[in-house]
Amino acid sequence: MPPIRLYELVIDNGLSMSPFVWRTRYALAHKGLPVECVPLGFTEIAPRFAGRHKTVPVIEDGGELVCDSWVIADHLDRAYPDRRPLFAAPGERAMVRFFDAWFSGEILRRCFGIYALDIHDAARPADRPYFRKSREARVGLTLEEFVAGREERVGAVREALGPLRRHLGDGPFIGGDAPNYADYIALGGLLWIAGVATVPLLAHDDALLAWWQRGLDLYDGLARDARLRPLAG
Amino acid sequence: MPPIRLYELVIDNGLSMSPFVWRTRYALAHKGLPVECVPLGFTEIAPRFAGRHKTVPVIEDGGELVCDSWVIADHLDRAYPDRRPLFAAPGERAMVRFFDAWFSGEILRRCFGIYALDIHDAARPADRPYFRKSREARVGLTLEEFVAGREERVGAVREALGPLRRHLGDGPFIGGDAPNYADYIALGGLLWIAGVATVPLLAHDDALLAWWQRGLDLYDGLARDARLRPLAG
């Protein structure tokens, strides 16, 4: 079959760095579907789709454009029912939705307050003014003010990760014996951070790191990259 | 088939009040299995099982005693494969385990610090000295010291419930269109509180209340009871 085209967001060093694109990359690998990545900077997304889509991931699958990581996940299970399902039962999908609500609200939101300026600094020079202007308007502060005192807020994220840490005492992956879409959500979030972080998120002995390494090993080391910065320190 | 015997924990007014027993009552109803409840006070549990089991739920199913709500849930799916499964896929079970880690660690743990003295006061008089002694030894404070200033901590629980509130914007139940074991975990926790609460946990306009009422309606109003105290106010 022809590869599915995946539009992704890249920073200046070429790394893919959207937590939502990473979910989709893992989802495509989970289903064993061939993929062709198209890197875009922040300011290239809207022009590329003539304003119809302003965020990635976007996939092009047989001429059809599909946008939004959850819409894409559902599309993939519907369009490729013969491949390994992302959601084996409606209840699994619902519980992964809960996981996403938890992870996005409790972890990613807090991380943005720690890494917003790092993202700016790692972005392609042409994208930085747009990133600064749009995000400063959203938070009502300069990026520098927004991340001030961030070292003291790292501890709150480590504590908020408690339920995930306790859960991974149960098995190798969030999804159990095998990874599921919840693993891809969490790995995507941490890859976003590891792409830009100038302060480590986790302590060097965090029990989550064993799972993180297993995640980087998935699908022939899909996400493993020497340009990733240390997630722990 | 003969009913499954369920040993439960009751307070002075006869209400069943263990969050873990409630999970099992809902799980038995989910699978459509007949049940016969045996009420026990805190101090009656260990003697009833000659010290072999110190906590409920315990079920007696065809002469076999099974203890611990998760062990019971797995037993029911294994022993009654022709009935509606509690976990339709391994990934669903794993994600409900995560939900339990989150709910127990972020919600129930905080609630104990608010309602510990209410539990004591609602327990059968014969159970109160045991409850006080065992719980005071565990927390290293008197129950009165432990719950002091609790009104100010109610807000933290309401905030911690954010991921659940956002998730229930998606569908009627935590498990999606139909309730699953995650619903029973959360309903069980709130039934525990509603059995004893002298201060309401939720604001009167909390979006969670619509789901709570749907939960009380499940299985012919299994848990609905005039003795329950207001969960919101």
Query: Which chain A residues contact residue B105 at CB under 8 A?
Result: 162-163, 166
Partner residue facing B102 (CB), from A89, A90, A102? A102
Cβ atoms A111, A148 nearer than 8 A: no
Contact B83, B31 (CB under 8 A): yes
| pLDDT > 90? residue A215 | yes
Whether the Cβ atoms of residue B4 and residue B34 lie closer than 8 Å to each other: yes
In this predicted structure, what is the pLDDT of residue A197? 98
**Chain-chain contact of A91 with B162 (C-beta, under 8 angstroms):** no
- pLDDT tens sequence across B106-125: 999 999 999 999 999 999 99
Contacts 24+ apart (CB under 8 A), A157-161: A157/A107, A157/A110, A157/A111, A157/A114, A157/A201, A158/A201, A158/A202, A158/A203, A158/A206, A160/A106, A160/A107, A160/A110, A161/A107, A161/A208
Q: Give the nearest partner residue to B92 out of A91, A97, A163, using CB atoms.
A: A91
- pLDDT tens for residues A146-190? 999 999 999 999 999 999 999 999 999 999 999 999 999 999 999
Tell me what pLDDT residue A1 has. 86
Look at strands A4-9 and A58-61 and give their pairing. Answer: antiparallel
Mutate which: A84, A93, A98, vs B, most B CBs within 10 A: A98
Tally of residues, chain A: 233
B99: which chain A residues are within 8 Å (Cβ-Cβ)? Answer: 95, 98
Q: What is the mean pLDDT of residues B26-34?
A: 98
| pLDDT score for B110 | 97
**Separation CA B224–CA B226 (nearest Å):** 7
pLDDT interval class at A229 (50, 70, 90): very high
- Residues of chain A in contact with residue B98, where contact means CB-CB under 8 angstroms, are 95, 99, 163-164, 167, 174, 182
Grade residue A192 by pLDDT with cuts at 50, 70 and 90: very high
Predicted TM-score of the model (pTM):
0.97
Å from B90 to nearest chain A CA? 7
A176: nearest CA in chain B? B94
CA gap B176, A89 in Å, rounded? 11
- Predicted ipTM > 0.90: yes
User: What residue of A is the nearest CA neighbor of B92?
Assistant: A92
- Distance in Å, alpha carbon of B145 to nearest chain A alpha carbon: 25
B80 φ/ψ angles, rounded to the nearest 5 degrees: -130, 65
Q: What is the mean pLDDT of residues B7-17?
A: 97
Binning pLDDT at 50, 70 and 90, where does residue B1 land? Answer: confident
For A122-145, give the DSSP string: HS-GGGHHHHHHHHHHHHTS-HHH
Q: Which of B92, B106, B173 sits opposite A89 (nearest CB)?
A: B92
Q: How many CB atoms lie within 10 A of CB B71?
A: 12
What mean pLDDT is predicted for residues B60-68? Answer: 96
B167 and A97 in contact by Cβ < 8 A?
yes
Helix axes B128-139 and B109-122, enclosed angle (nearest 10): 150
Contacts of A107 in chain B (CB under 8 A): none
State pLDDT tens for residues A95-140: 999 999 999 999 999 999 999 999 999 999 999 999 999 999 999 9
Q: Determine which of B86, B96, B97, B98 to mutate to test the interface with A (most A C-beta atoms within 10 Å).
A: B98
What confidence score (pLDDT) does residue A219 get?
Answer: 98
Cβ contact (<8 Å) for B167 and A89? Answer: no
Q: How far is CA B103 from the centre of its chain?
A: 11
Cα A125 to chain centroid distance, Å, stands at 22
Please check the confidence at residue A223 and state whether its pLDDT lies above 90.
yes
Pull the structure tokens for residue B76.
Answer: 């029911």
- Arithmetic mean of pLDDT, B81-97: 98
Give me the mean pLDDT over the B74-97 stretch. Answer: 98
pLDDT digits (tens, 9 = 90+) for B148-201: 999 999 999 999 999 999 999 999 999 999 999 999 999 999 999 999 999 999
pLDDT digits (tens, 9 = 90+) for A10-67: 999 999 999 999 999 999 999 999 999 999 999 999 999 999 999 999 999 999 999 9
Report CA-CA distances (Å) from B45 to A228, B16, B67, B210, B231: 54, 14, 12, 35, 28
| Chain A residues within 8 A of B162 when measuring between CB atoms | 105-106
Residue B87 scores a pLDDT above 90: yes
User: Which among A95, A166, A178 has the least Cβ separation from residue B95?
Assistant: A95
Nearest to B99 among A90, A95, A180 (CB): A95
Q: Which residues, 6+ apart, have CB-to-CB distance to A16 below 8 Å?
A: A8, A9, A10, A22, A25, A37, A39, A191, A195
Tokens 């790692």 correspond to A122
pLDDT by residue (tens digit) across B199-222? 999 999 999 999 999 999 999 999
Q: How many CB atoms lie within 10 A of CB B209?
A: 14
Cβ separation B94–A173 shorter than 8 A: yes
| Alpha helices (H) in chain A, listed in sequence order | 19-30, 45-48, 69-79, 90-102, 109-122, 128-139, 143-147, 151-160, 162-167, 181-194, 208-221
Task: Locate the chain A residue with the closest alpha carbon to B90.
Answer: A176
Identify whether the C-beta of residue B157 lies closer than 8 Å to the C-beta of residue B149.
Answer: no
